[in-house]
A and B are shown apart, each in its own frame.
Chain A
Amino acid sequence: MNPPPKIARRVAIVGAGVVSPLGFGLGETLQSLRKGTDCVTPVTAFSVDKTRCKTAGQISDSRLLEGMNRSRRDRRLHRASHMVIAALDEVWSQTDAFKPEIVIVGTTSGGMTFGERFYRTLGNGGCSAALIANYPPQKQIVDALEKFHIDAPVQVIANACASGTNAIGHAFSTIRAGQYQRVLAGGYDALSELVFVGFDSLQASTPEKCRPFDAKRSGMVLGEGAALLALEELESAQRRGAEILAEIVGYGISTDNHHLTQPNPDGSGPRRAMEQALAGADLTSGGIGYVNAHGTATVFNDAAEGKAIEQMFDDVPISSTKGMMGHSLGAAGAIEAIVSLLALQHQLLPPNINFRDRDPELRLNIIANQARQAEFDCVLSNSFGFGGTNASIVLRKM
């Protein structure tokens, strides 16, 4: 048998870009986190007359298209491509010398809205080949890469709501093992009717406010966005004098075979992912100063995740930032990695908004409603999804 490599390389974040309901770019995102802004608004992209839930975290189309050259080709791109372009533009503004050997990203629905339009125009002749060609889930990132003349292979991981964290975590693992030196990693997803109605049909989304970990939580709201991290082997980044934003030090992944859409209530799936991430980081739970929880505000997720956190940690501050921006599915883990990065850089504990009543079943130190300052070196970020996928990453301050 071939022996696995013995040297674990260190992995630096040398660039970060984000667009989400919290804002465009790191600066606006930080402002929203500091203020605890509720960025969830009534859905405008499609009819919600017949759904229970009426709201989502959304990104303004007019803002998204600002600065685009509006060529015929650009106008045909999917909204998710424009989100990725905006995020990539920010990454490149920080580290234009970064040449990824591979791109590893997560998504759940790719260009789903084009698929919806294709279906709706069947039989009436209104369909365009561009809808079909730009629908597949790899197209949104590939189109964005073309804009920046990046010709690297693209691995698109579709592990439901854990996709973004899986993509970053797998990218981290490959650099750590010495397979690559530079990987662009992240995630993207745009709001779509099919997915919105899907979560509504499962009664997983709420007609009320999204209240993660609250005793009276009643479900999630959806969101959208894109986030990308430029990851580089630390010594390589230092040699070329790159600014190092933080380090990724641990990643854990587990599969919970309990049910296609529900976590095992004992929290064992999330727990295994978090334990692995801590072990990989060579940390004990006491080394974590903040947990950015998956925290969808569904009864089942928060109970299972809360139980796992309660078992593993002793009073660590935790929040879910999905109350502010909704759950952006395949993008969520990547956006929350950037939330975690900002938390580390600015020693900020982002708030868990819309929180009213403590769940008597969960003994958790929730950062309720208002951001706080604190001193800490490491953050753990969780993402869990349909199919029983669980992923956790650990970031460390440099």
Chain B
Amino acid sequence: MSSWIAGLSWVTPLGSGVDSVWQRLLAGERPPLEKLQSEHNAASYLVHRVPDHATKNLPPHPRLRRASAISRFAAAAGLGAIADAEVAPNLERSALVFAISNGGVIYTRRFYSEIVKAGAQSASPLLFPETVFNAPASHLAAILGICGISYTVVGDGAVGVLALKLADDLLASGQVDTCLVVAAEEIDPLVCEAYRQWRLLRNSRSPENGRGMIVSEGAGAVLLSRNDSGCEVKKIDAGSNFFRRAEASAKLRRTLERLGLKGASFCIGSANGTFVGAAERRALGENVRAYYPKLALGDSIGASVLWQVIAAVQGLRTGRLPGSVEPVRGSGAIVLACGVNQQIGGLALCSDREKYRSALS
């Protein structure tokens, strides 16, 4: 069984409107680079941050009063995807599936630093609950009034595929009619330092050098439905794990075979300036048209697959991809995800262009 994409939304360093951000990407715009300074050493990190205006329309809610940035991004994206749907979902028959990698790292770092610097007796009970991986999902469920199924799925940069697969399985089993899949991340210097020490980060002194990733933040949300809505999720391959980086390319190729690369007009890849790019290029070969949104928006880790899905849908909808004037022909697209920490997966999308054209007009 397949599911359909009924609504989309994202919160990115280029703003939050699906169409307006896409137009900026098509025009070749890049979000501004900010430099974060380490609290612990002389290191600095280049990042793409979400501008304040991207979440300015978020309605106030008691759950968001103390919540970290990640929960605000998630709420804005989740509400946006529901508002984007032509038919409002019946929330009693809806599930929430949340994808996350680093999670509420700002509060986690603050809480642990209180333990280390001032002692356990000084650690704030207000911070700890927000460190839990499912805190953003809990806030969003409370805002939306979802009282049934809510799952938070954790993993590396490919976690969005695993979350979409879980959502697709929920729809296929008939447990729900719609499923809101949300993924979000926030930036903290601690995460940047970890990626720097792992030698995955862009050197802050030579940003023009394409090697290494630029960490970004934000959220993506997709409302999946069992109703035909124009863009079909034909297949989700929850993939496999690569135990050594050298294995990544072969495993990506197997995922592409399972997804049916030949039927796709283009691929939205997850290249981010690290070994992932080379692995994907080897797997895709030279003749496949590909676009890599992480190279423009930065790598939002846990949120990135949802951005890729939105880019794929927009590519099918508008018939254009950033960086090329050549129109997209055909109605199929593949989203390929390779995280930096062992997980691989992907999905195949197929759109009914006529339905989209009428919706756009």
Interface residue ranges, A against B (CB under 8 Å)? 1-5, 47-51, 102, 107-108, 110, 115-116, 118-120, 122-123, 127, 129, 132-133, 135-139, 142, 145-146, 151-160, 166, 170, 173-174, 176-177, 179, 193-194, 197-203, 253-257, 260-261, 272, 385-389
Q: Which residue of chain B has its CB nearest to the CB of A256? A: B147
Task: Indicate whether A158 sits within 8 Å of B154 (C-beta atoms), given known contacts A122-B193, A194-B108.
Answer: yes
Contact B142 A257 (CB under 8 A): yes
Task: Indicate whether A51 sits within 8 Å of B162 (C-beta atoms), given known contacts A108-B132, A122-B40, A139-B341.
Answer: no
**Inter-chain contacts of B197 with A (CB < 8 A):** 127, 129, 132
Please pick, from B123, B174, B345, the residue contacting A198 in the complex, using a CB distance under 8 A.
B123
- Smallest CB separation, B284 vs chain A (Å): 21
Asked if B88 lies at the interface with its beta carbon under 8 angstroms from chain A, I say: no
Contact B134 A160 (CB under 8 A): yes
**Inter-chain contacts of A136 with B (CB < 8 A):** 101, 154-156, 341
Contact B342 A142 (CB under 8 A): yes
**Inter-chain contacts of B96 with A (CB < 8 A):** 255
Contact A138 B115 (CB under 8 A): no
Asked if B151 lies at the interface with its beta carbon under 8 angstroms from chain A, I say: yes
- Smallest CB separation, A21 vs chain B (Å): 22
Please pick, from A2, A3, A50, A151, the residue contacting B120 in the complex, using a CB distance under 8 A.
A50
Contact B40 A123 (CB under 8 A): yes
Contact A159 B152 (CB under 8 A): yes
Contact A255 B132 (CB under 8 A): no
> Cα distance A203–B133 when bound, in Å?
20
**Inter-chain contacts of B172 with A (CB < 8 A):** 2, 4-5, 177, 179
> Cα distance A342–B284 when bound, in Å?
50
Q: Which residue of chain B has its CB nearest to the CB of A159? A: B134
Q: Which residue of chain B has its CB nearest to the CB of A269? A: B147
User: Which stretch in B7-15, B73-81, B235-243 binds the other chain?
Assistant: B235-243
Task: Indicate whether A138 sits within 8 Å of B156 (C-beta atoms), given known contacts A5-B173, A170-B151, A201-B128.
Answer: yes
Asked if B49 lies at the interface with its beta carbon under 8 angstroms from chain A, I say: no
Asked if B60 lies at the interface with its beta carbon under 8 angstroms from chain A, I say: no
The secondary-structure label for the interface of chain A is mixed
Please pick, from B115, B151, B343, the residue contacting A166 in the complex, using a CB distance under 8 A.
B151
Task: Indicate whether A5 sits within 8 Å of B175 (C-beta atoms), given known contacts A160-B132, A387-B132.
Answer: no
Contact A146 B151 (CB under 8 A): no
Contact B241 A174 (CB under 8 A): no
Contact B341 A129 (CB under 8 A): no
Q: Flag B10-43 by CB within 8 Å of A: 1 or 0 each.
A: 0000000000000000000000000000101100
Interface residue ranges, B against A (CB under 8 Å)? 1-3, 38, 40-41, 63, 96, 100-101, 108-109, 111-113, 115-116, 119-121, 123-125, 128-135, 137-139, 141-142, 145-156, 159, 162, 165-166, 169-175, 177, 190, 193-195, 197-199, 226-228, 238-241, 243, 341-343, 345
> Cα distance A223–B96 when bound, in Å?
29
**Inter-chain contacts of B41 with A (CB < 8 A):** 122-123
Given contacts A2-B2, A201-B120, A203-B125, 4 further A-B contacts (CB under 8 A): A142-B241, A145-B241, A155-B165, A260-B63
Please pick, from A154, A173, A194, the residue contacting B155 in the complex, using a CB distance under 8 A.
A154
- Smallest CB separation, A377 vs chain B (Å): 26
- Smallest CB separation, A9 vs chain B (Å): 11
Contact B147 A272 (CB under 8 A): yes
Contact A257 B199 (CB under 8 A): no
Task: Indicate whether A156 sits within 8 Å of B129 (C-beta atoms), given known contacts A4-B173, A129-B199.
Answer: no
Contact B240 A5 (CB under 8 A): no
Please pick, from B115, B132, B171, B243, the residue contacting A146 in the complex, using a CB distance under 8 A.
B243
> Cα distance A192–B200 when bound, in Å?
27
**Inter-chain contacts of A203 with B (CB < 8 A):** 125
Please pick, from A115, A138, A257, the residue contacting B343 in the complex, using a CB distance under 8 A.
A138
Contact B147 A255 (CB under 8 A): yes
- Smallest CB separation, B130 vs chain A (Å): 8
Task: Indicate whether A201 sits within 8 Å of B154 (C-beta atoms), given known contacts A1-B226, A260-B139.
Answer: no
- Smallest CB separation, A73 vs chain B (Å): 10
- Smallest CB separation, B125 vs chain A (Å): 4
Please pick, from B63, B130, B175, B194, the residue contacting A118 in the complex, using a CB distance under 8 A.
B194
**Interface pairs A-B: 10 shortest CB-CB:** A4-B174, A387-B138, A177-B173, A153-B238, A198-B128, A158-B133, A123-B40, A122-B40, A257-B142, A50-B120
Q: Which residue of chain A has its CB nearest to the CB of B162? A: A155
Please pick, from A118, A129, A152, the residue contacting B240 in the complex, using a CB distance under 8 A.
A152
> Cα distance A166–B98 when bound, in Å?
14
Task: Indicate whether A197 sits within 8 Å of B109 (C-beta atoms), given known contacts A5-B174, A108-B133, A157-B152.
Answer: no
Contact A260 B154 (CB under 8 A): no
**Inter-chain contacts of B193 with A (CB < 8 A):** 122
Provide 26 A-B residue pairs closer than 8 Å at the C-beta atoms, listed in order of the A residue.
A1-B177, A1-B227, A2-B1, A3-B174, A5-B172, A108-B132, A129-B198, A136-B154, A138-B155, A138-B159, A142-B241, A142-B343, A157-B153, A158-B132, A158-B133, A158-B152, A166-B151, A173-B173, A174-B173, A179-B172, A197-B123, A197-B128, A257-B147, A260-B130, A386-B132, A387-B134
Task: Indicate whether A151 sits within 8 Å of B241 (C-beta atoms), given known contacts A127-B197, A138-B341, A261-B129.
Answer: yes
Q: Which residue of chain A has its CB nearest to the CB of B194? A: A132
Q: Which residue of chain B has its CB nearest to the CB of A203? A: B125
